Amino acid sequence: MVEHKQLAVAAPALPVPDDELVRRVQAGNNEAFEELVRRYERKVYNITYRLMGNEQDASEALQDAFLRAYRFINKFQFKSSFFTWLYRIATNVSLSKLRKREKVHTVSLDQPVNEAGDLPFEIPDVKYGPEKLMKQRELRAALQKSVDELPEDYRSVVVLRDLEGLSNEEVSKVLNLSVAAVKSRLHRGRLVLREKLVSYL
Amino acid sequence: MKKRKKQTGECHDCGEAKELIAQYVGGDEDEDLAREVLLHAQTCAECAALLRSLKRLVHYCSLEPTCEMPTTVRRELWVTIRREIHTTEK
């Protein structure tokens, strides 16, 4: 008689939900916080990089964002999703650093600088234009530069909505704005970008 | 929305159209809105250009790859996090 043995196949472990990890951190489990960092470090770096425009400032903002999240995680009340809360911290940290940086910039801008003919980026020569890859690189650099030059209110909305792919509702939660305000800032931000990137569009 | 002058390619009153274009490009899924925007764009060169360029802009943004986090940035992050955790555990 053939004996049928039922093979126990281990189902792949489902990832622990964010909220559960947060509860564990609140109960004193620091490994759970490390898991949250692993889960979101790249996404948060993207936001800080897009907002700050360079690696060093983005790195500082990234560290500050996670430090604040760790220090204040006991205050997290599950009224929003963890990632919304974390993105809000990352955005606020970045914008705060930007304000400080722009103050420093204001001093240097007081010095006489000849801005005449200084275009925000080079307009590609169609006749002798570079290869497609080169154009993509140019566009990417021009896009980041143009985003860097956006006013703060528009920049955060454009970064979260258009570059990070959040929905209008998610952006409104991260930035604590109404959806209507998000849409309005997004449109105005896009119009500014369009002006700057006109030769690519 | 009022009829636009096709021959000049200009709107006398583009304000309303531009608002609608913003809503349309912003992702509001409404068939009436889409119809109105597209119909208007056929009669107004300025709004057609605005619509085209905004759609391209949104498309280019959506193609932007995720920034690669440099190893040094990641290492510094983890040093900071572990130092903080170690401090609070003491």
Reported ipTM: the value is 0.75
The answer to whether the pTM exceeds 0.80 is no
Query: Closest-CA residue in chain A for B72?
Result: A59
CATH of the domain at A167: 1.10.10.10
How many CB atoms sit inside 10 A of residue A162's CB? 24
The residue range of the domain holding B36 is 15-65
Number of domains in chain B: 1
The residue range of the domain holding A70 is 14-101
- A-chain CB neighbours of B85 within 8 Å are 30, 33-34, 70
Task: Compute the mean pLDDT over every residue in chain A, rounded to the nearest whole number.
Answer: 82
Q: Is residue A18 part of a domain?
A: yes
Number of domains in chain A: 2
| The pLDDT value given to residue B63 | 85
For the segment A33-81, what is each residue's pLDDT rounded down to a tens digit?
999 999 999 999 999 999 998 999 999 999 999 999 999 999 999 989 9
For the segment A7-40, what is each residue's pLDDT rounded down to a tens digit?
566 677 788 999 999 999 999 999 999 999 999 9
Are A93 and A138 contained in the same domain?
A: no
Q: Is residue A119 part of a domain?
A: no
From the centroid of its chain, how far is CA A173?
14
Q: Is residue B22 part of a domain?
A: yes
Instruction: Read off the tokens for B84.
Output: 């903080």
In Å, how far is B48's CA from the nearest CA of chain A? 13
Are A92 and A147 contained in the same domain?
A: no
| The pLDDT value given to residue B5 | 43
Are A132 and A165 contained in the same domain?
A: yes
Q: Is residue A60 part of a domain?
A: yes
Rounded mean pLDDT of A102-131?
Answer: 41
Q: Is residue B28 part of a domain?
A: yes
Res B4 pLDDT > 70:
no
For the segment B39-67, what is each residue's pLDDT rounded down to a tens digit?
888 888 888 888 898 888 988 888 888 88
* Angle, helix A179-196 to helix A168-175, in steps of 10 degrees: 100
Q: Is residue B27 part of a domain?
A: yes
Q: Is residue B73 part of a domain?
A: no
